[in-house]
Structure 1
């Protein structure tokens, strides 16, 4: 998976970020479930203001 480069928080301008993961009830599922499972969502979070500045699913192959 290609890494997304974020230089500054669009809300406060800070340059420090951390990753967080949303799982369980917050998992993302394909439009048609079938036998495909959901997957966690990875968030990039500004450590200064706490804003989520980017989100993506961790296993894109489950959506193809």
Structure 2
């Protein structure tokens, strides 16, 4: 995240990244045989608010018709 951004909950300006544990993966809707991608979260280290979430491997969601 850019340094000038702040947490909408507490105004904090320090952030960390984490990922969900276990089966917290995202899978493409129309592809049956794929491992999907982990979801990463950007978290305010002051209050714990999740500012954004994204997949690490977005190319796995490309529609190959």
Q: TM-score range by the shorter chain?
A: 0.7 to 0.9
The structure number with the bigger radius of gyration is 2
TM-score normalised over the length of structure 1:
0.83
Which structure has more helix as a fraction of its residues? Answer: 1
Q: How many residues align?
A: 61
Name segments (4+ residues, structure 1) moved above 6 Å.
none
Alignment of 1:1-64 (within 5 A): 5=2, 7-64=5-62
For 1:33 and 1:22, the matched residues in 2 are separated by 22
TM-score normalised over the length of structure 2:
0.82
Structure 2 regions of 5+ residues with no counterpart?
Answer: none
Supply the RMSD in Å over aligned alpha carbons: 1.6
Which structure has more strand as a fraction of its residues? Answer: 2
Structure 1 regions of 5+ residues with no counterpart?
Answer: none
